[in-house]
Structure 1
Amino acid sequence: MFCECLVDSFALPKGYEDLEISTQIIIRDAISRKIEVEIIDRGENFLRLKQGNHTEFIKEASKTRLDSLMSYLVMENKIASKLVLSEKNIRVPIGRNYSNLESALADFNTFQDRKKVIKPATTNFGIGIGISPVGDSFESFKIFVERALSYSSSVIIEEFIEGPEYRFLVLGDEVVAVCNRVPANVRGDGKSSISDLVAKKNDDPRRGEGHKTALEKIQMTEIEKEILQSQGLDFSSVLPLGVTAYLRKNSNISTGGDSVDFTDMVHPDFKKIALDSARAAGATICGVDIISSQIEKKPDLDTFAVLEINFNPVLYIHEFPYMGTPRTVGSKILDLLGFD
């Protein structure tokens, strides 16, 4: 069903390798249209594009004048985004938000009999997110809450919905691409240790650091060590042939995950849900994260939920997927901005 897609080194322009890869995509597509590209702030991936009398600023490839500051703020804040989605009768995980440690811990018994996600209200890239199992101890629950609150002044605790997570890229009135983001993982060959499998997977030229390549290297920090221990494994463990071990619970590509294109396989109703979610936040350009165990079938309220709306969606996971069909998305942003 899927093929591995290598990044063509000639597909991106030379001289911009220090910029994050989504910005490189915009520059490539602008140059192909004979749009003048001026780098305003290299460290911030801030560009100015000119075509005749038409000028546009773009930051980090998907921040443009098309979305208001308030739309950004609503999408950035998970409490606010969950509110606007709920008011439009869009299915979201059931949960509560807390502004301090004491109030969250006071509801420990409320969540003890279910698997739950504990996450900061205002972070991206899976930072500070913890998944607490059924019957988790109070001490472990407290650690998850404290970690989340260290990244944000508010924390959300909500039901954990089983299933893969999919990123729907919304540009204007269209879902232009969908990918399944698989958490960082390695597959056993029956003879190599997990650390060796990680090193081998990281040898892929598509993997690097700092969002300058199509994929990020898998790390071997205390976080990955902890995730492996929860599976009864460590970095020296040898996985049987074909057995997969996960080194992260979050599915972010930024922490070593894999992107698999699903654009042509999702049920059309899910694309409508993504568009409705973007409209609920007043967003023109965004990424909508949907979790579903049956993404190819008509949505069932028991098997899916909209997790987040992201205000600065990356482009490279769709242009250069780990597996599947590459999707041309950078050029569509230039279309939205009115360039020829």
Structure 2
Amino acid sequence: MQSLKLKPGEYISPDIFALQGFEDLEISTQIIIRDALNRGLEVEVLDRKNHFLRIKDAFGKIQYVKEASKTDLDSYMTFLVMENKTISKIVMQESGLLVPVGDGFGDAESALSFWNSNSQKRMVVKPVTTNFGIGITILPPKASSEDAKKAIKIAFNHSESVIVEEFAEGNEYRFLVIGDETVAVCNRIPANVTGDGIHTIEELVAIKNEDPRRGFGHVTPLEKIQLGDTESDVLEQSGFTKDFLPARDQKVFLRKNSNISTGGDSIDVTDLANSYYKELAVKAARSVGAKICGVDIILKNLESKADYRILELNFNPVLYIHNYPYEGKNRDVGNKILTLLGF
């Protein structure tokens, strides 16, 4: 066990995302350690591999924090409800919130039958319990039955049940709720490169990956863009290969999912978000009793009140996309969690 506390007058700058001596820990955990130490708190790393901390103040108050945002503020049942996307959709719907139309299925035959009756629409197939966009497939209108079966099989590889639902049109945003407030909003853009008229897609990926903020395993603010089978498939669907030379300012996407964990870009849009959507995010978190929650909302115009769909609730939202976005302000969300914990 490792115990840390700063000496009077010492301060660790949040401008440098990598915390010396803790570069192996996920960056969200590094944020909590840094912010706690800067508050004069004692931090004990109880289980480094599992990112498990114990934080103490001078008055004997103790709080346990796992993976930066798992705390005793949220009950185990709240965690289970948010983890199960079918149940969280039901709860949100009952609270008057709009969610994509769809259903959960425990067998491939029923899931395929539901898709068949909706195959003229763009549909999403995903595991009931998943994170980081793992196991999710977007099927275009009139996709082949073989593609649908493959998507369902992939989803079942990650969960005992799957969801088949309509694809909500618009841009996806992550709203971070801490307590009774939306403290940050992030637009997560799928892995992409922008042409310069000189370099190929493969070369542009290599250039973008030189950014020191990109790494592997959530220990940096951004993940390196890959050029594996998934990226190749996405490029092929757009009529490109990795050797294609995009025109100047031509944006080429290498992923369909917008997760930062697969090389996406995080853009802070907190100041642009209409208060209507911020309030919806708080209502969604409150519907399942969550104090710390990532709310993923699809909408067409962030700045104006309009149609929306809440895709899912995240029980362990990452902090680093809000503190160290690809573009935008540091929203200092680690300190907001510490304040909510009573420090």
Q: Which of the five TM-score ranges fits, normalised by the shorter chain?
A: over 0.9
User: Secondary structure of the equivalent of 1:272?
Assistant: helix
Q: Which of residues 157, 160, 165 in structure 2 aligns to 1:153?
A: 160
Moved over 4 A (4+): none
1:161, CA displacement in angstroms? 1.3
Q: 2:46 aligns with which of 40, 47, 57?
A: 40
Aligned to 2:9: none
Q: Is the 8 A contact 1:12 1:28 kept in 2?
A: no
2:321 to 308, 317, 325: 317
Q: CA separation in 2, counterparts of 1:270 and 1:305? A: 10
1:189 aligns with 2:189: no
Whole-Å separation in 1 of the counterparts to 2:202 and 2:14: 28
* Matched letter for residue 25 of structure 1: I
Q: Aligned partners of 1:171, 1:278: CA distance in 2, in Å? A: 9
Measured after TM superposition, the shift of residue 8 of structure 1 is 6.6
Paired residue secondary structure (1:139): helix
After TM superposition, the score normalised by the length of structure 1 is 0.95
Task: Check the 8 A contact 1:270/1:299 in 2, yes or no.
Answer: no
CA distance in 1 between counterparts of 2:44 and 2:63 reads 10
| Aligned twin of 2:4 | none
Equivalent residue for 1:26? 32
Alignment partners' CA distance in 2, 1:12 and 1:31: 15
CA displacement at 1:106 relative to structure 2: 2.0
* Letter in structure 2 aligned against 1:319: N
- Aligned partners of 1:47 and 1:27: how far apart in 2? 8
Tell me the secondary structure at the aligned position of residue 49 of structure 1: strand
List aligned pairs for 1:118-137, cutoff 5 A: 118-137=125-144
1:13: how far off?
3.4
How many residues align structurally? 330
What TM-score does the superposition give when structure 2 sets the normalisation length? 0.94
Q: C-alpha separation between the residues in 2 aligned to 1:161 and 1:190?
A: 34
Give the Cα separation in 2 of the matches to 1:242 and 1:111.
37
For 1:109 and 1:335, locate their aligned partners in 2 and report how far apart those are by CA, in whole Å. Answer: 50
CA contact (8 A) 2:200 2:243 kept: yes
The equivalent residue for 2:337 is: 333
Tell me the distance in 1 between the aligned counterparts of 2:19 and 2:99. Answer: 40
1:13 correspondence with 2:19? yes
Q: Which residue number in structure 2 is paired with residue 3 of structure 1?
A: none
Displacement, 1:191?
A: 2.2
RMSD of aligned C-alpha atoms? Answer: 1.2
Q: Structure 1 CA distance, aligned partners of 2:171 and 2:114?
A: 28
Question: 2:341 is aligned with what amino acid?
Answer: L
List alignment gaps of at least 5 residues for structure 1.
Answer: 1-6
Q: Which residue of 2 aligns with 1:216?
A: 223
Per-residue deviation, 1:236: 1.0
Bigger relative contact order (CA 8 A; separation at least 6) = 1
Residue in 1 that maps onto 2:232: 225
State whether structure 2 residue 270 is matched by structure 1 residue 266: no
Shift of 1:11: 5.5
**CA 1:108–1:336 in structure 2 vs 1: closer, same or farther (change >3 Å)?**
closer
Gaps of 5+ in 2: 1-12
SS of structure 1 residue aligned to 2:335: helix
Instruction: Identify the residue that residue 73 of structure 2 maps to in structure 1.
Output: 66
- C-alpha separation in 2, matches of 1:117 and 1:307: 11
Q: Percent identity?
A: 54
Q: Deviations over 1:128-161 (max 9, x none)?
A: 0000001111111111111111111111111111
1:189-225 CA-to-partner distances (Å, cap 9, x unmatched) read 1221111111111000000011000100011111111
Aligned pair in 2 of structure 1 residues 241, 75: CA closer, same or farther (>3 Å)?
A: same
> Is the 1:266–1:295 Cα contact (8 Å) retained in structure 2?
yes
Is the contact between residue 188 and residue 197 of structure 1 (CA under 8 Å) also seen in structure 2? yes
Instruction: Name the SS for the 1:178 alignment partner.
Output: strand
1:253 equivalent in alignment to 2:257: no
